[in-house]
Structure 1
């Protein structure tokens, strides 16, 4: 049983004659007739009673029609899915981005991609690097941009850049202009990425460092956005950490100073995708744009 046979059968069923079915499929009447005869031979039952003016479907035809339509729809869906992988005309590109993505030059990512490929729908998902990596790991997103490290195996990692993380305070200057973890703890930690908590890669680095030094980390306030944390710090409520991307973007309040840590704290920005799953052409194009925009943000 072939898709061609099923198409011929459904055309004959819907049009009522072999002649009309042949016109519908742009083939000869003899071809339609031969396909139907072969199909009847394979299933071992007649599909039509050949009346003088119109084909009369048998009970076998009524039963086969349900499966034939389902099979052809599945075949069409498969073709559409493959086209989305191999073309930039249709399909959906699902890409995950984490916090601060705009500060690495990605503010125009969606706009640029849509202008180039208006037929492709775009889904940008995620908030924190952990959530983005989880969505890629579970197949919800094809690829994403995250801060490393993330605790998922089976992902392909492509580091793009490493950025320094700074101590930010409106209080006293750290000794010799370089901060210790104790400075953050003593000032009172105001941390962002409250939803992800210690799953956040940068916060996880702080926790690992604290555990290695026998210290306990307990934020006095947790918020979701870095800007919110900086507003609190500017008002004299504790201290926080900020990536170099926010410093370069001028997002630090005037009365807040930033200092490097004595033992440098860094974030590595990376593209991720699954090792065991193909990435559509559309998503590969988004990844290429991301590489270019991130590289440009470092030379701007």
Structure 2
């Protein structure tokens, strides 16, 4: 037996609810001969009469009533399936895998996720704490959808990286130290220092800043977690170069000084993803929200 036709089942349900072929035809925007054809084909396919044509009303037979009951469930499931696909395609539901550093997670991502919840509550964002190199590798491997990464990045085939935000780098210094108004490479190089891990883009950015002034300092300790570095600075263990985080550094810790750098140093962040034509709707929606928090 051939598979049941959903349009024909919808016609049968409409006849059962409305009582006549003409009313069903009008409700379904079909010609009445088409409605009659749907029922006759169903009856032929199932080998049983499905409706009784009365003088004033068409009523389902016992077999027709059993089919109507199940047809309602099938049609509801089909409608829900179509709606689910449409919502996925339109970016209203889905799961997006996003990778970024601890600093971005603490300072910027909560605002992004709050806006996403307001506008696209059906999208779940799975956040992984990743360095920029690993984020780019996972994007290339297809195990990540979006990376918030340090710029510049070496070009990778089939990956797009665009500027998102810039963050001023500052010198975080223990409060008890006697410090200048602006921290220079010369002054900092003479202090005990806490650096990011040598594999990170932040480390390379910091060392290039020192090297441009003719210095190559060694760190007292290297870490890869901004909050831990800030805690060590507050404890007086050393000074660190880190991006200023508007949300967490605004109420300055009484045990730290935050000094501007001279010359100025800026960390640039980018959004990395696969080409737009290959993205699903949920990823597009997350990119749209991220763009609202970007900087020209």
Give the alignment's TM-score, normalised by structure 2.
0.62
> Residue in 2 aligned with 1:230?
230
Q: CA deviation at 1:240?
A: 0.5
Match status 1:147 vs 2:147? no
> Residue in 2 aligned with 1:240?
240
Match status 1:278 vs 2:278? yes
Over 3 Å counting, the alpha-carbon distance change for 1:278 and 1:198 in structure 2 is farther
What CA deviation, in whole Å up to 9, does each residue of 1:3-60 have, x standing for no partner?
xxxxxxxxxxxxxxx2xx444776848998xxxxxxxxxxxxxxxxxxxxxxxxxxxx
- Match of 2:204, SS state, is helix
Over 3 Å counting, the alpha-carbon distance change for 1:87 and 1:287 in structure 2 is same
Match status 1:173 vs 2:176? no
> Residue in 1 aligned with 2:13?
none
CA distance in 2, matches of 1:133, 1:185: 32
- Match of 1:110, SS state, is helix
- Which residues in structure 2 correspond to 1:164-203 (within 5 Å)? 164-170=168-174, 171-174=177-180, 177-192=181-196, 197-203=197-203
Match status 1:131 vs 2:134? yes
Q: CA deviation at 1:180?
A: 2.2
Say what the alpha-carbon RMSD is for the aligned residues: 3.6
Match status 1:87 vs 2:90? yes
Aligned partners of 2:235 and 2:255 also within 8 Å: no
Q: CA deviation at 1:251?
A: 5.8
CA distance in 2, matches of 1:136, 1:214: 37
What CA deviation, in whole Å up to 9, does each residue of 1:143-189 have, x standing for no partner?
22223223343332221332210112122213xx2222233332121
Aligned partners of 1:101 and 1:107 also within 8 Å: no
> Residue in 2 aligned with 1:287?
287
> Residue in 2 aligned with 1:220?
220
- Which residues in structure 2 correspond to 1:197-212 (within 5 Å)? 197-212=197-212
- Which residues in structure 2 correspond to 1:73-112 (within 5 Å)? 86-102=89-105, 104-112=107-115
Aligned partners of 2:139 and 2:273 also within 8 Å: yes
CA distance in 2, matches of 1:276, 1:143: 12
Say how many residue pairs are matched.
226
- Structure number with greater Rg is 2
What CA deviation, in whole Å up to 9, does each residue of 1:252-282 have, x standing for no partner?
4213212222221111122222348622221
CA distance in 2, matches of 1:183, 1:81: 60
Any stretches of 5+ residues in structure 2 without a counterpart? 9-37, 46-81
Any stretches of 5+ residues in structure 1 without a counterpart? 1-17, 33-78
Over 3 Å counting, the alpha-carbon distance change for 1:223 and 1:86 in structure 2 is same
> Residue in 2 aligned with 1:266?
266
CA distance in 1, matches of 2:187, 2:140: 36
State which drifts further: 276-285 or 209-218: 209-218
Aligned partners of 1:97 and 1:126 also within 8 Å: yes
